[in-house]
Amino acid sequence: MATPHAMIMLNNFARLPAPRARSRPATIFLHKRSGTASTAVVPGLMVSAEP
């Protein structure tokens, strides 16, 4: 499961009206910065969270 910090960041990015092209690099940056394998699910959640 993702860490609380990752969930908070996911929540913030999900609220942003940024296009998918901008959201994707942001999630990749989070994944590299956190260094946890659990954060790999964030890109998938971002897609489902977007309208």
Q: Which residue has the tokens 């913030």?
A: 12
Taking residue 46's Cβ as centre, other Cβ atoms within 10 Å add up to: 18
Mean pLDDT of 22-27: 54
Of 32, 46, 42, 47, whose CA–CA distance to 2 is shortest?
42
pLDDT given for residue 37 in this prediction: 43
Q: What are phi and psi of 50, to 5 degrees?
A: -75, 145
Mean pLDDT of 25-36: 54
- 32-42: per-residue pLDDT in tens? 555 554 444 55
CA gyration radius for the chain? 10
Confidence label for 28 from pLDDT (cuts 50, 70 and 90): low
